[in-house]
Amino acid sequence: MRNPLEPTVPDSDHWRLSLAFGGTISYTIIKALDGVIDVYDPAPFPDHHTVSHWRVPIAYFPGVKTWVVSVDTTQDLLLVARGQPYGETDWDVTVHVRSLKRPDAPHPRARSRSLYAAPSGLKCYGMSKIQIHEQFVIWSLRTLESVQVEVWNWCTGDKIWGRQFDETVTYTLLDAAHILMASAHWDELRVYRFDPPDEAADGILRLGFPFEDRCNPHIQQSSIPAPPPNAPFWPDPELRVLMIVYWFMRRGTPPGGALLIPYTTFRRLLRPEPTTGEPTYTPPLRIPWEQWGAQGSVVLQEPADERVVLLHSYPYGSRVSFHTADQPGGRLGPNWWKHTDIVTFDLNPYGDKYAHNPYVACPPRPAQWSAEQLKTWIRDSATPLSASSFARHEESPTLYSPSIIAHSYGFTEFFPPSYGQLPSGVQEIGFRTHFFGQDGSEAIEDAAD
C-alpha cells in the first residue's frame, strides 16, 4: 500500500491538521489556499483495511476565516467554525452544522444551519478543543484574558452551559452530563455537570492527586465510542479510559507520567440523580487520593532510561498507545530514533484474555509484558490491565515521533506539520493507520484521495 503521508514544500504551512473527537477519532486537514477541507476516518471493519475520505469545499460556509473543523462520522455530522467580519454581526464565530455526506445541506437533525457563538463583546481570538457526543458539543473560546468553555446542543441550537477559566484548563466529556477538567492552578481533578446545569464554582466532584509536589496536569482529549452501523466489534463506552498527562514544575522532581482512570471510577463516585432531578448531595465533594486512587486508577511513571511521549497520545475505548524509545546516547547510539516501540496499555478487565484471542486481539501477537516489566512503569494499583509493545522502525528523521491514537483494530500515527527548517526542504504531513489482521499480519492503510 502507498505511503499515506503527503509531501509538502515549506510554503505549504497553510495546511492545518487536527484530530476530530466524536464517536470515533477522525482526522481533518484544512487546506485554506486550495479552498477545501479533507476528512479521513479509519474503517470500522478490520478486514476492510480502508480509510474513508470526504473532500468539502470551504465555499459552502460563509465567513472570513476557518478557525476549526470537527466531525462525528457516526452521526454524519460536520461542524465548521468560521470567523465573521469584525463589526458586521453581534457574534464573532458562526459554527455551521452540516451533513458530512452533503455539506451543502443542513444536518437533518439540526433545527438550524448554524450556531452563533462568541458574542462580539467577548473579543474572541480562537476556538479549539471540540468534542462531540450525541447531541452535545463542547468547545473553548479564547479571549484576551481567559478561556470560555461552552456546551451546546447542536440539534436544538441552544447553549446549555458555559464558564470562564484561565488558559491552562484542559477537559474532556465524561458522558452526556459531565465534564472532567484540570488546571495547572488546581491540585485536583474537577467534574462539572452540564445536564442538568450545575452552577457550583468548583464542580460537583473533586479528586485529589497522589503527588506531594505541585504538578501540571493535562487531560488528553478523547472520544466516547459510538459504534457505526454493522460494526462487528466495538469498544464498550463503559470501559473507556481517561488519560491525564502530568509533569512537575520544580527541578529535582521525578519525570512525569500519566493517570489512567477508567470511566467506571467516575460513574461509581458520581452519585445517581434522584427522579426529581435535584442533586443528591451539596457540591463540591472532595475525595483525597487515598480514598479513590489505588482502587480506581493506574499511575504510569516514565522510566528514567526511556524517552516517552505521553503528551502526544490519545486513548480510545479501554486502550491507550504511546511512543517510547531509548534516551539519546543510549545503547542504540546516534540512530536511537530509528528503533522505537509503540506501547499499549489496556484497562479492559478482560484485556489479558482478549490479547490471545485471534479474532479480537489488537494488536495481535504482540510482545506481552511480564509483571516485572509492569513494575518499572506502574505504581501500586488494584486496577486490572494488560500491556504489550510493538516494534517500530522509521528511517525518516522527521517522522520518528508522531502522535499515537488508539483505535479499535490497531493504532494511527499522526504527523502534523513540523516547525523549523528541515534538512530536505520538504516535509511529510498526514497519518498512517495500522490495522492488524486475525493472522497477526499488519496493514498500513493509505489516506489516498
The domains located in the chain, with CATH, are: 6-445 (2.130.10)
Q: Which of 204, 217, 278, 219 is nearest to 249 (CA)?
A: 217
pLDDT of residue 162: 93
Q: How does residue 449 score in pLDDT terms, banded at 50, 70 and 90? A: very low
Handedness of CA 13, 14, 15, 21 (dihedral sign): positive
**How far from 423 is each of 11, 134, 402, 418, 427, CA to CA, in Å?**
15, 45, 18, 12, 9
pLDDT in tens, 90-129: 678 899 999 999 999 999 999 999 998 877 666 788 899 9
| Average pLDDT estimate for 254-280 | 78
| Average pLDDT estimate for 213-224 | 90
Alpha-carbon span 279 to 264, nearest angstrom:
20
Q: How does residue 169 score in pLDDT terms, banded at 50, 70 and 90? A: very high
Helix (H) or strand (E) segment spanning residue 264: helix 263-269
189-198: long-range pairs with CB below 8 Å, 24+: 189/217, 189/244, 190/284, 191/266, 191/270, 192/161, 192/163, 194/136, 194/151, 194/160, 194/161, 195/136, 195/151, 195/160, 195/161, 196/277, 197/160, 197/161, 198/279, 198/283
**At residue 361, does pLDDT exceed 50?**
no
Burial profile 259-282: b = 16 or more Cβ within 10 angstroms, e = fewer: bbbbbbbbeeebeeeeeeeeeeee
Alpha-carbon span 244 to 122, nearest angstrom:
30
Alpha-carbon span 241 to 235, nearest angstrom:
11
**Assigned C-alpha cell, 363:** 494488536
pLDDT in tens, 44-94: 665 556 788 999 999 999 988 899 999 999 999 999 999 877 766 767 889
pLDDT of residue 131: 98
pLDDT of residue 274: 56
Q: How does residue 391 score in pLDDT terms, banded at 50, 70 and 90? A: confident
Dihedral of the alpha carbons of 136, 138, 141, 146, in degrees to the nearest 10: 130
Alpha helices for 388-437 (secondary structure H) = none
Handedness of CA 81, 192, 120, 220 (dihedral sign): negative
pLDDT of residue 11: 42
Residues 6+ apart with CB under 8 A from 86: none
pLDDT in tens, 324-360: 877 665 555 566 667 788 888 888 876 665 555 544 4
**How far from 310 is each of 52, 147, 293, 350, 417, CA to CA, in Å?**
27, 24, 20, 24, 19
Handedness of CA 112, 39, 399, 407 (dihedral sign): positive
**pTM of the predicted structure, to 2 decimals:** 0.86
Summary mean pLDDT of the chain: 80
Contact call for residues 383 and 297 (beta carbons, < 8 A): yes
pLDDT in tens, 286-314: 999 999 998 899 998 888 777 788 888 99
Instruction: End-to-end CA distance of the chain: give it in Å, rounded.
Output: 14
